[in-house]
Structure 1
Amino acid sequence: MTDIVTAARDLVQVVDGADWELARVQAAQDTLYAALDAGAGDPAEAFAVLLDRVVRSHVDDADGVAHVAITAGALVEAGSSARALGDAVLPKLVPVLRAARRYGDWCLSQLPPRTDVLDEDDRAESMIEAALHVDERPIPRDVFRAGMAADRPGATSLYWLRKWVLPTVAALTRDRVVLERAVADPELVVATHAVAGAGAHSLDILLGVELDRTWLVLCPLQNRAFRVVVDGVADNFTLHVLLADALGRYGIPTADNPPELFDYVRGTVEECPRNHIVGSFTMYDYRAAGSTVAEPMGIDREYWVWGEGHPRDVPYFEGMRTLVLGPPWAKAILGSERTFWSLPTDVRVVEELTVDQTRSLLARATVGARP
């Protein structure tokens, strides 16, 4: 059997140049994974070989280094250094993301004006014939191929974008240092968001994560308010679930969910006790402070903080993201899967405000919400 180091060296060689062959790349990957499973050779040395090739890559080469990156991501999932992968991949991402956006825009420019009148058969056929999708539009294979001669780096970056994104997510969710660095990189955040609809959706969500941020949570029906720390939370579903656990410990009415389920969402246990979570409340932004939250359907939908959204979209009030909570508008049943399996998450109360502070906050939020 070929050992893993030899397989890694073979892989980095067969991706070289614009004329690399996918079949040879896949064969080299299969050999490496087989060696990993069999324990043949030193995974650390193989990992170093892969990272060196990622570091030497350049988007204009239009080669197959994305396959090396995702193979390195598989080794991280098997125990290799997430920090080292993040250090290697992060400097390479912005040029790849921008090239992918460039080629995606070119492909879109070759399509007829968008129409939603296709029948189901035509729509299904367009999906089958698509090389990929950009901004929810299928890109036919002939259109995608038509521009490759003029912009092979862009075409390669777009087509293999997920193979850059997935190992990046693997690294960032396993190492806090590289995650903090990525979140604080405005060029990376903007470039990722631009191709969220072309294969970078998961990374776009991750780069919007709240890391050790203090929020205000107002509970008008109980005349109570809290400062909470939101950490490792990248989606409003997780925010809802863990906020219910945190506030339930302080006597705020919440739905009956088992403690083990909250531990699973946090990432502290691996087994989920059941496949659903009962929603505890409806979340609004601070502009709902002057509304009657006991009647959810009477509150402007613009103020709702939807479970499908993300914490970064919740507006600030007096320097902090602020939520207003009311009873659930219906018996909501939420899914129980973690958004990022390896990302620790938590929401915890750090302070309950006094009654006078709460009343003052609600009054100021009400005034601040007025046009």
Structure 2
Amino acid sequence: MIFNRRGRERFLDAVTGFETAVEQQDSAGAERGFQALHQHYQDAGERELAAGAARLARLLPTVPPGPRGTVAVVIGACVERGADPLVCAPAILDGLADAVRAAGEFCERWAATGGDELPDPEESGPDEAAFERAGFEQTMAWWTLPQWEMASVAMLNHAGVRTGLDAGRRAELLTSIRAVEEASGHDFKCLTYALLVLDDEPLIVIDRPTGTGYALRMTGLGDTFQLHTLLADRLTGGGHLPGYAPAPQEVAVCRDAPGQVPTKGSFNLVAPDGGWIWNEGTPSDIPVVDGSRLLVLDPPPYERGWPAGRFFPGMTGDLVLERVLTAEETARWSAHVRPARQPGN
């Protein structure tokens, strides 16, 4: 017991050593402290992880650009093991915003100084030529952006972090990330999808074949595959509509159970203007009409299957059926609906 307690305390000792080295601008000491963080992380208990993550989050803005992204990943790992995401998220998301901005500058400077293919951070580390072409901060941001993505998704797995993120800042992050994607050709899908997740979001569903309507509310759904399965559970499984009703395990893995299981489609999801809503997208693709997302259900044009589950395994999702709409309400919402169109039309 004494050994286990001491093993746990060593993680906080490593945090202290790292803090001291960063504050004293002791690069060798910071490297030793960082290695100790990795060495003792697995032995740390929940209390030590929570305390250490909070301290590292406070320290993060002063950590040099090189190791800053890796420290962010350590904080994210602590959150995945129980540290408070609300305490840690502000520093992580501030760091993400800075990294995305600087990575965008890296892409611009790289194009302006030769225009050759951007280096792949997963294949090699930065070299002196990259620093000279794009600047130190910008180069380190490009190389560490995947780390900031990992750390930020760990924060955004939590509804309290997502709902506490200002809508304007969320939009700025998405715009900046998409600009980097366009300039670089690299895909930051996980980060983009995490920032697009909706919480406590009203959803009106009109089933075209039966002429019935439903008011629902969705939270924490990473992609439209997940929404599709939960819709089928609430509407066909609930006896409101005919069609395929997912089995309990198919539904469970779309809420909070681990793993994936095979499922198949129950509907074709359609926007009010008649365009298809693809399962591969996110629920944010569903247009807002009069303050609510408005979705139309048509019969599936062909049988389609996929692995039911969650795009973000660490994110709990849910879809609540609040009520069946009256005929008058359904008619009012249906006035916004146009006939379905074939894809591309």
Q: TM-score range by the shorter chain?
A: 0.7 to 0.9
Identify the residue that residue 277 of structure 1 maps to in structure 2.
Answer: 263
What do you get for the CA RMSD once the two structures are aligned?
A: 3.4
Q: Percent identity?
A: 24
Identify the residue that residue 172 of structure 2 maps to in structure 1.
Answer: 187
Q: Structure 1 residues 42, 345: CA separation in 2 closer, same or farther (over 3 Å shift)? A: closer
Identify the residue that residue 60 of structure 2 maps to in structure 1.
Answer: 54
> What is the CA-CA distance between 1:13 and the residue it aligns to?
6.5
Identify the residue that residue 294 of structure 1 maps to in structure 2.
Answer: none
Given that residues 226 and 308 in structure 2 are in contact (C-alpha distance below 8 angstroms), is that contact kept between their aligned partners in structure 1? no
Number of equivalent positions: 325
Given that residues 12 and 68 in structure 1 are in contact (C-alpha distance below 8 angstroms), is that contact kept between their aligned partners in structure 2? no
Query: Are residue 317 (structure 1) and residue 303 (structure 2) matched?
Result: no
Q: Structure 1 residues 252, 145: CA separation in 2 closer, same or farther (over 3 Å shift)? A: farther
Given that residues 286 and 323 in structure 1 are in contact (C-alpha distance below 8 angstroms), is that contact kept between their aligned partners in structure 2? yes
Identify the residue that residue 99 of structure 1 maps to in structure 2.
Answer: 102
Q: What 5-or-longer segments of structure 1 have no aligned partner? A: 113-125, 134-139, 289-302
Q: Report SS of the residue matched to 2:120.
A: strand
**2-structure distance, mates of 1:189, 1:156:** 20
> What is the CA-CA distance between 1:178 and the residue it aligns to?
2.1
> What is the CA-CA distance between 1:347 and the residue it aligns to?
1.4
Counterpart mapping for 1:1-371 below 5 A: 3-11=10-18, 25=31, 29=34, 31-39=36-44, 42-57=48-63, 62-109=65-112, 110-111=114-115, 130-132=119-121, 146-149=129-132, 150-174=134-158, 176-182=159-165, 184=167, 185=169, 186-196=171-181, 198=186, 200-248=188-236, 249-267=238-256, 269-270=257-258, 272=259, 275-288=261-274, 303-366=275-338
Q: Report SS of the residue matched to 1:38.
A: coil
> What is the CA-CA distance between 1:357 and the residue it aligns to?
3.5
Given that residues 51 and 85 in structure 1 are in contact (C-alpha distance below 8 angstroms), is that contact kept between their aligned partners in structure 2? yes
Q: TM-score, normalised by structure 2?
A: 0.81
**1-structure distance, mates of 2:277, 2:192:** 19
Amino acid at match of 1:100: A
> What is the CA-CA distance between 1:219 and the residue it aligns to?
0.7
User: Which range moved further: 184-193 or 236-245?
Assistant: 184-193
Given that residues 107 and 144 in structure 1 are in contact (C-alpha distance below 8 angstroms), is that contact kept between their aligned partners in structure 2? no
Q: What 5-or-longer segments of structure 2 have no aligned partner? A: 1-6
Given that residues 231 and 346 in structure 1 are in contact (C-alpha distance below 8 angstroms), is that contact kept between their aligned partners in structure 2? yes
**2-structure distance, mates of 1:13, 1:148:** 28
> What is the CA-CA distance between 1:38 and the residue it aligns to?
3.0
Given that residues 233 and 345 in structure 1 are in contact (C-alpha distance below 8 angstroms), is that contact kept between their aligned partners in structure 2? yes
> What is the CA-CA distance between 1:142 and the residue it aligns to?
10
